[in-house]
Structure 1
Amino acid sequence: MGDPRRHIPATDRILNEPRVAEAAERLGRERVKQAVHEAQQRARDGEIAVQEVVEGVLAELPESTLSLRRVLNASGVLLHTNLGRAPLSGAAVRALTTAAGTTDVELDLETGHRGRRGTGALAALREAVPTAQAAHVVNNGAAALALAATALAADREIVVARGELVEIGDGFRIPELLASTGARLREVGTTNRVHLSDYRDAIGPDTGFVLKVHPSNFVISGFTSAVSVAALSELDVPVVADIGSGLLSPHPRLPAEPDATTALAEGADVVTASGDKLLGGPQAGMLLGDAELVERLRRDPLARALRVDKLTLAALEVTVRGPSTPTGQALERDERQLWHRAERIAEILAGAGVAAETVSTTAAVGGGGAPGVELPSAAVGVAEHLAKQLRTGDPPVLARVEQGRCLLDLHALPPEEDTDLVRAVLSAVR
């Protein structure tokens, strides 16, 4: 028969093999062609059999060109900033697929002329927040606040309580963000106390608006005093309320968290909020409120630079209109159900020879929202050293380490991912 290496398939023949052709379409022909050449050389060197060349090609190719990886969130933080905050609902994911094609995002099909961008998402927000006369969407919560400052207070003053000049994620600070827009800050009160008279004394002809910032990532307790949106609305200037976390209406499990509907009902002229936190949608910044002011924001030149794409608009619309989001479902999880899930997982692991126990613990909302709120939860405790193996496994699992144990908190993890969690732990042990 001679040397089998003489019968190594030609490059074009391998590239036309259905599975290789599909990979070339997905990853690019040149990338796959390089993998073919490498597999052919391995066959010539005797490292693989001739009949294994195609399998050798496929083994060297990734399933996707995407570097992002799916992570199992067993940290006990529902909105983990480093994990992208809110996971999207199945309906929102399907909307992304539709929007990825050719759509009427800015076309009026009835007239054939240019239409208002994102009309569906804007209508959904107005319906969900009946106290809002108008809505506008930008690319994140900080952008929403920056747009308000630029359009309403450039070269003017923003009156804000000193205790509300907070720092948000990655070292970004509200006062620096506002100053970058050309507005001047007029701080009132002290770190822990501010009164309505402080605001009233600071307001003058240069006042653009009064800003009320919800300190969503920390709590000041003790000898404190703050001024409500309702009281601020008595002042003869616009009131912008940055509620941060994105609740559109009150939530029974988060009674202290502000929401857009209530803030506007209490007299705020504009409310700014994030879409990827408690709303459970894509990263976006929402501006809701007085029609005239929102239109000023929409027509400001900066609004163009902060415009969101069709994917965000599609996911946001379906999130607002659709059924419960994964974030909403996680908030509603019952402690007893979480405990039963943890017991079942611990039993499976113990049956496989892995030391595991059921642990009562608490989860957090995260994402810069609901500070101090503890959600009763349950976790599976395994050996501390498994935390790194789990984090670097496939799929990666983000747990937390407490008191010498690696805790797999189930509050942020959907029940349908329990099987994947068990497999990941067994793989980490091996």
Structure 2
Amino acid sequence: MVEDDPRRLIPGTDTLLSHPRVRRASNTLSRHVIEQLIHQAQERARHGELPPDRVEGEVLAQLDAYRPSSMRPVINATGVVVHTNLGRAPLSPAARSAVADAAGYVDVEMNLETGRRSRRGASARRALLAACPPAEDALVVNNGAAALALAAAALVGTGTIVISRGELVEIGAGFRLPELIESTGAQLLEVGTTNRTHRSDYAAALAQIPEGTPACVLKVHPSNYRISGFTSSATVAELAALSRQHQLPLVADIGSGLLAPEAALPDEPDLATTLSDGADLVIASGDKLLGGPQAGLLLGTSAVISQLSAHPLARAMRTDKLTLAGLEATLNGGETPVSTALSPDGEKLRQRTQRMADSLGAEVVPHDGRAGGGGGPGVPLPGSAVQLPEPAAALLRSGEPPVVTRTHGAWCLLDLRCVPESEDETVLQAVRTALEDLPPPTRGVG
């Protein structure tokens, strides 16, 4: 490098690390992140992309903008309540506060009165049992798939699981429940047909299983889709009576996790009803219609839960303190964002939508929301949306904060169902900014 090469003026790493603002940044960022940002600015200067005298300013700007986590909070204006791509259920204020408290040292496995070790997750278990009285006992694992795998491994092992062909479901990202179950060593005995399975089909299958062979009957709610027309399926009550005759447990995977019946989703199974109808074990997800953190919920008889808790996989699938805190607070803390969005004040929501449209000179159009997350497949949640030009969707996603909408044809549809009223002004300003950035031919909103 010649003496008059401007690259000689690039500040050295030690010089930049000694800058007061860089030193202060070390309180919130790791050293390897800080050094990486410094080296990136230096490399840009070496390649002529940045003047040497601007390296320091670039480093400081990058430090100010850097977020330790790459996940960004977004505003869900799609009308889909449990949006898998947006993290499913948003936690309630009570749950958020509980998770923040649990981020430090907490008495997750200690009795503070005695100073001795206590049962992990006991408080979350008590909250579950209080919220679902038909359950004798409960266990929490890290997600719904883990719950089903644990049930198969603990109750059946290499034995037989009897299941309807119409319930061999595949859910998101190519995940297939039959493959999960078989990975535990259990054997599937399929009964009935895709569209029609009767109690007699289960009875015939159970008659084939040799006495003493570990087995169970599994009923799976077909989340994400609906079979209609010439259909038939056995009820939980029918299967419970049949399972008792053969002294086998009945396991019901209801998927999305309603505690009790929900008027907005009349055909969606719930934990309380399924247990009352005779299921020995019910499996559900905590981060869907329950409105809590990701978790696999197992509720049922004391004997079955005890068997599951004693299995070695229960330890491998154990959930962490943040989930336990969030789940307990979800159950004890009142209404959740999910429950509010499922059954909003319709007139108030309509007025909010109309006010926003009027402020933008836009039109309000009918728009059906959805439960999402596999809940209530095909069931509309009637509502409305602000109609904007389709190119606004990308601009809203790239804004700060990002606003995620739905696109339909030539339009971007902004649905306030899942947007807290306190964020209406933020959304309005985001839309105004996006519309200003549109090319003139697409700027019109109505």
Counterpart CA distance in 2 for 1:41 and 1:198 is 70
Match of 2:62 in 1: 60
SS in 1 for 2:367: strand
Counterpart CA distance in 2 for 1:397 and 1:181 is 41
CA displacement, residues 141-171 of structure 1 (integer Å, 9 cap, x when unaligned): 1111110001011111101111111111111
Q: What value does the CA root-mean-square deviation take over the aligned residues?
A: 2.7
Instruction: Provide TM-score, normalisation by structure 2.
Output: 0.87
Unpaired segments of 5 or more residues in structure 2? 1-8, 438-446
SS in 2 for 1:320: helix
Structure 1 residue identity aligned to 2:240 = S
Q: How does 1:16-415 map to 2 (within 5 A)?
A: 17=20, 20-29=22-31, 31-32=33-34, 57-61=59-63, 62-203=65-206, 204=209, 205=211, 206=213, 208-235=215-242, 236=244, 237-350=248-361, 356-415=362-421
Structure 1 residue identity aligned to 2:215 = G
Percent of pairs with identical residues:
54
CA displacement, residues 196-252 of structure 1 (integer Å, 9 cap, x when unaligned): 111111112335110011112111111111111111111232100101111111222
SS in 2 for 1:25: coil
SS in 2 for 1:26: coil
Counterpart CA distance in 1 for 2:170 and 2:39 is 53
CA displacement, residues 47-76 of structure 1 (integer Å, 9 cap, x when unaligned): 8999x9986544222342110011111111
SS in 2 for 1:78: strand
Counterpart CA distance in 1 for 2:189 and 2:390 is 49
- Relative to 1, partners in 2 of residues 1:40 and 1:268: Cα closer, same or farther, differing over 3 Å? closer
Structure 2 residue identity aligned to 1:288 = L
- Relative to 1, partners in 2 of residues 1:49 and 1:419: Cα closer, same or farther, differing over 3 Å? farther
Counterpart CA distance in 1 for 2:165 and 2:32 is 58
What is the count of residue pairs matched by the alignment? 418
Alignment check: 8 A CA contact 2:155 2:214 kept? no
- Mean Cα displacement is larger for which, 407-416 or 303-312? 407-416
Match of 2:442 in 1: none
Alignment check: 8 A CA contact 1:377 1:410 kept? no
SS in 1 for 2:72: coil
Counterpart CA distance in 1 for 2:403 and 2:109 is 40
Per-residue deviation at 1:40? 10
Alignment check: 8 A CA contact 1:339 1:360 kept? no
CA displacement, residues 291-312 of structure 1 (integer Å, 9 cap, x when unaligned): 0110110111111111100000
Counterpart CA distance in 2 for 1:334 and 1:400 is 22
CA displacement, residues 71-100 of structure 1 (integer Å, 9 cap, x when unaligned): 111111111111110001111111111111
Alignment check: 8 A CA contact 2:16 2:56 kept? no
Per-residue deviation at 1:14? 8.1
Counterpart CA distance in 2 for 1:49 and 1:187 is 70
SS in 1 for 2:322: helix
Alignment check: 8 A CA contact 1:212 1:242 kept? yes
Counterpart CA distance in 1 for 2:24 and 2:265 is 49
Spell out structure 1 runs of 4+ moving beyond 3 A.
10-17, 19-22, 29-43, 47-50, 52-58
Counterpart CA distance in 2 for 1:196 and 1:40 is 72
Counterpart CA distance in 2 for 1:97 and 1:260 is 28
SS in 1 for 2:127: helix
Unpaired segments of 5 or more residues in structure 1? 1-5, 351-355
Counterpart CA distance in 2 for 1:207 and 1:412 is 45
Match of 1:3 in 2: none
Structure 2 residue identity aligned to 1:362 = D
- Relative to 1, partners in 2 of residues 1:270 and 1:60: Cα closer, same or farther, differing over 3 Å? same
Alignment check: 8 A CA contact 2:259 2:272 kept? yes
